[in-house]
Amino acid sequence: MRRCRTCGPSSCNADSVTAASNILERRDRRRGWVMVTPALGFAALFFVAPLVTMAVVSTWTKVGAATVRAWDLSNYAAFFARPHFVEALVNSLQITAIVTVVSVLLAYPFAWILAMRVPARWQRLAILLAILPFWTSYVVRSYAWLLVLSRGGVVNTALMGLGLIDAPLEMSATRFATVTGFVHFFVMLLTLTIYASLKQLPPNYARAAADLGAGPVRTFWHVVLPLTLPGVMVGAFLTFVLCIGDYVTPQILGGNNELVLPQVIMLQLGRRSDLPMAGALSIMLMAVVTLAYLLCARWLRDRPA
């Protein structure tokens, strides 16, 4: 039974109860709006409005030093017409695909060892240690790999010291360096997400499979792996999004031999200050990420439970 505060339980009739609860509900809603509006306003002003601006600017064109502010899709036409733009997209997709696959393949067994083989009381320390280098600055991390892979760097010195090679290998300013830098970061990220999904798996499942006569390999293949696959997929999607949009790692480690899409976007800002083209390229980048998201969401939905 609802009681209304203004008139007290004795004199209250149904109508005034409804009226009072309506007032309360309206007041509750008003308070909610007051609290959510600053955040929504901020997001609208500094996230949505910039994206809309970018979409509009991408339809303008830069002619010489002047910007023609008229609706025109020539930037998008240029994207498909000029081979170096398409090449950058292809490079981005190839590097991202390699990085995602290699990182998952390296991180999964590692996360499995941490979750299943390391004694429970050491696990927290083990996982904290495994992601410790995560906290190095993002620019500095790529620089550190540059040191490791440079001509006179640690890897070349060690390989030459062991007599495995005679002359230093050229590893910096290559795709190999870019991929190594990315894989380093995403192995840590994926170890964390895969470890979390392995820990969520009730231990009874593996025991039940063993009781039913499955060996460790079959248990893993038919029970553990399928049940952790959605977690892997989420981690892989995160890897894809962060990797394809990154400028720093390919710029520092890959150099200018082969450009990826974010590097080409940044080039538009530098030389000619061609904001419209940079906008159009960014929209293309967003389109690729959205497409990946849709494919990923669809896979997660259509999977037999």
In the complex with other proteins, the residue whose CB is nearer, 246 or 258, is 246
Q: What minimum distance in Å lies between the beta carbon of 80 and other proteins?
A: 20
Interface size with other proteins, residues (CB under 8 A): 77
Distance between CA 21 and CA 11 in Å, rounded? 16
* Residue listed under structure tokens 């390919």: 250
43 binds other proteins, rule: CB under 8 A: yes
Longest dimension (CA), the chain: 99
Q: One-letter amino acid identity for 142?
A: S
Helix/strand/coil for 61: strand
Short-list 104, 106, 138, 95, CA closest to 234: 104
Which amino acid belongs to residue 119?
Answer: P
Figure out which of the listed residues 4, 95, 184, 236 binds other proteins, where binding follows CB under 8 A.
184
SS (H, E, C) 99-120: HHHHHHHHHHHHHHHHHHHCCH
Closest approach of Cβ 181 to other proteins, in Å?
8
Which listed residue (1, 119, 135, 257) binds other proteins by CB under 8 A? 135
Nearest residue to 278 (alpha-carbon basis) of 43, 45, 95, 61: 61
Exactly one of 17, 54, 201, 210 binds other proteins (CB under 8 A); that residue is 54
Tell which one of 129, 208, 294, 300 touches other proteins (CB under 8 A): 129
208 lines the binding site for other proteins (CB under 8 A):
no
Alpha-carbon distances of 247 from 152, 244, 251, 253, 266, rounded to whole Å? 25, 9, 6, 10, 8
Unique residue bearing structure tokens 């390391």: 118
Q: Which of residues 82-121 bind other proteins (CB under 8 A)?
A: 106, 109-110, 113-114, 117
Minimum distance of other proteins from residue 304's CB (angstroms): 27
Q: Which of 19, 23, 49, 291 binds other proteins (CB under 8 A)?
A: 49
53 touches other proteins (CB under 8 A)? yes
Residue ranges in 286-305 that form contacts with other proteins under rule CB under 8 A: 286, 289, 293
- Which range binds other proteins by CB under 8 A, 15-23, 194-202, 224-232, 281-289? 281-289
Q: What is the rounded CA–CA span in Å between residue 42 and residue 13?
A: 44
- Binding window for other proteins (CB under 8 A); candidates: 76-84, 124-132, 192-200, 228-236: 124-132
| Binding segment toward other proteins, per CB under 8 A, in 11-19, 44-52, 76-84, 296-304 | 44-52
